[in-house]
Amino acid sequence: MTALFPAIDLRGGRCVRLTQGDYDRETVYGDDPVRQARVFADAGARWVHVVDLDAARSGEPTNRPVIAAIAAALAVDGVAVQTGGGVRSVEAAAALFDAGVRRVVVGTAAIETPELVPAIAASGRVVLGLDVHGRDVAVRGWERSSGRSILEVLAGFDPASLDAVVATQIAVDGTLAGPDLGLYRELLAATSVEVIASGGVGRAADLAALAALEVGGRRLAGAIVGKAIYDGACTVEDALAAVAGPGALDGGR
C-alpha cells in the first residue's frame, strides 16, 4: 500500500468514533482535533482523514472551521488532509479546497447526483466514498440504503473523475474485528481507480494483510485507521510500518 490515513471523526467539534455507523454508539476520544492531527503528523503520517459526522447526517457543514484549522496546522509540515461528510454541492467542496483540504470525499451526493463528481473534479481532487452493509451501498450518514451494490455504483463513474475510492465496510467499522478482505479483492478486480480500505482494522497485522492483497498486479492505495490507534491496539508508527508492505511506495502522493 502507499499510504496510511489516521482518522479523525468530528461530531460537535470533538474527536469521536462510532461503532458500526451507529450515532447512538459513540465514543469520545478528545475535544482538541487539531492537537490530535498534530500527534498523527508528528508520528510520521503524511495524510490525515477527517470526517464531519454532523454534516454527513444533516448536510450542514458544522465542523468546517475545525477542518480548516486542522488543514492549516498540518500544512506547515506538508501533511495532506482528506475530508468527507456532507459534501453535497460544488460550493461545499470548493469551501473545503479553499480551507486547505487536499482531497474531498463525496458519498451520498455522488450516489444521488452522479454528475456532481465530474463537476467537483474540474476544480479539485475527488474521492468517491462508498459505505456498505455487506455489498449494499448506504447513504445519509449510513442510515439509509441506496438499494444498489458497490460494484454497480462504482461502474457508473468515469475513473478519470476520481482520485480514489474509499470503501468502508460498516459491519466491522469501529469493532477492531478485522477488515473485509474479500470486499477489497472484488474492488481491485473491478476498477482501475485507486482503492482505500476502511473499517475493521484492529491491529498492525490487519494492515499487513491489506498491504499484501494483490489482484491482477494491483494493490490497495491505502488504509484508514481510527479506533485501533485511539485504543492503543496499534501505534501510528507500527501502522506505517505495516502498510509499507510488499511494493510500498511513498505515502505522500
Question: Could you say which of 52, 54, 131, 180 is catalytic?
Answer: 131
For the stretch 165-179, pLDDT in tens is 999 999 998 899 999
Looking at residues 204-226, what average pLDDT do you find?
96
CA 219 to chain CA centroid, nearest Å: 17
pLDDT number for residue 108: 87
- Give the pLDDT mean for 138-166: 89
Q: Does the pLDDT at position 250 exceed 60? A: no
The dihedral over CA atoms of 104, 108, 141, 68, expressed in degrees to the nearest 10, equals 20
In this predicted structure, what is the pLDDT of residue 246?
55
pLDDT number for residue 19 = 77
- Annotated catalytic residue within 9, 54, 163, 180: 9
pLDDT band at 143 (very low <50, low <70, confident <90, very high): low
The length of the chain, given as a count of residues: 253
Is the pLDDT confidence value at 145 over 90? no
Q: What is the pLDDT averaged over residues 121-142? A: 90
pTM: 0.92
The rounded mean pLDDT for the chain is: 92
Q: Which residue has the higher pLDDT, 239 or 246?
A: 239
The answer, yes or no, to whether residue 249 has pLDDT greater than 80, is no
Q: What's CA 200's distance to the chain center, in Å?
A: 13
Domains of the chain: residue spans and CATH: 3-243 (3.20.20.70)
Plot region of 217 (φ>0 → left; ψ -120 to 50 → alpha; else → beta): left
What is the C-alpha to C-alpha distance for residues 210 and 189, in angstroms, rounded to an integer?
Answer: 15
Instruction: Compute CA 193 distance to the chain's CA centroid, rounded to the nearest angstrom.
Output: 15
Residue 174: its pLDDT value, please?
Answer: 86
In this prediction, residues 15-43 reach a mean pLDDT of 89
Mean of the pLDDT values across residues 124-132? 96
The answer on pLDDT for 200 being more than 90 is: yes
**What's the confidence (pLDDT) of residue 82?**
98
Query: Average pLDDT in the 227-248 region?
Result: 88
- Pick from 63, 44, 84, 246: which is nearest to 167 by CA? 84
* 158 catalytic residue (yes or no): no
**Nearest alpha carbon to residue 131 among 194, 85, 181:** 85
- Integer-rounded Cα radius of gyration of the chain: 16
Residues 33-73 pLDDT 10s: 999 999 999 999 999 999 999 888 877 888 999 999 999 99
248, pLDDT greater than 60: no
Concatenating the DSSP letter of every residue in 178-193 gives: ---HHHHHHHHHH-SS
- Reply yes or no on whether the pLDDT at 92 is more than 80: yes
Q: What is the mean pLDDT of residues 108-125?
A: 95
d(CA 134, CA 175): 15
